[in-house]
């Protein structure tokens, strides 16, 4: 039975799964969004969120842990220098999964995994708040 089992095996060994998730999150940090299958996006999103939470600490130990997980110090530096400032003021919910059309070759459901842009979310919230204020007046 599958009671509360959260591990998706992908038909791979443990080390291969860990490398896959690491590469997905590294690609997300490097390119700001990645196109992958829905299941892989659902596995990579919480890992990316935890890395941002770790990176928000900003200390040397956090940098080393992020670099060890991502396998590349340049990607870890980009996480700390570009992604964390972009997420300033957010308390979680750093990623977004948008479902796309199925892959033509095998029909696998595809998704776009991307960062929730702090500036874009502020722009979305401002008109909604403004319309609510005018409705109450």
Asked whether residue 112 is assigned to any structural domain, the reply reads yes
CATH classification of the domain holding 99: 3.90.1030.10
Q: What is the DSSP track for 18-72?
A: HHHHHHHHHHHHHHSEEEEEHHHHHHHHHHHHHHHHHHTT-SHHHHHHHHHHHS-
Return the exposure string of 24-35: e unless at least 16 CB atoms fall within 10 Å of the residue's CB, then b.
bbbbbbeeeebe
| 6, part of any domain | no
pTM of the model: 0.81
Indicate the number of domains in the chain.
1
Question: Region 66-81: what's the mean pLDDT?
Answer: 96
In a domain, 4, yes or no: no
Structural domain contains residue 1: no
Condensed to tens digits (0 to 9), the pLDDT of residues 81-124 reads 999 999 999 999 999 999 999 999 999 999 999 999 854 544 44
Whether 26 maps to a domain, the answer reads yes
Is residue 67 a part of any domain in this protein?
yes
């Amino acid at each position: 039975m599958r009671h509360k089992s959260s591990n998706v095996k992908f038909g791979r060994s443990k080390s291969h799964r860990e490398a896959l998730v690491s590469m997905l999150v590294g690609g997300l940090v490097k390119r700001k969004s990645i196109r992958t299958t829905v299941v892989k996006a659902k596995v990579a999103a919480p890992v990316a969120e935890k890395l941002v939470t770790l990176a928000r600490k900003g200390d040397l130990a956090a940098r080393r842990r992020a670099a060890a997980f991502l396998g590349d110090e340049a990607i870890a530096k980009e996480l700390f220098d570009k992604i964390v400032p972009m997420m300033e003021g957010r308390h979680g919910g750093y990623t977004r999964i948008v479902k796309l059309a199925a892959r033509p070759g095998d029909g696998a459901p595809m998704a776009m995994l991307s960062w929730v842009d702090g500036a874009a979310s502020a722009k979305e919230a401002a008109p909604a708040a403004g319309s609510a204020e005018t409705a109450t007046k």
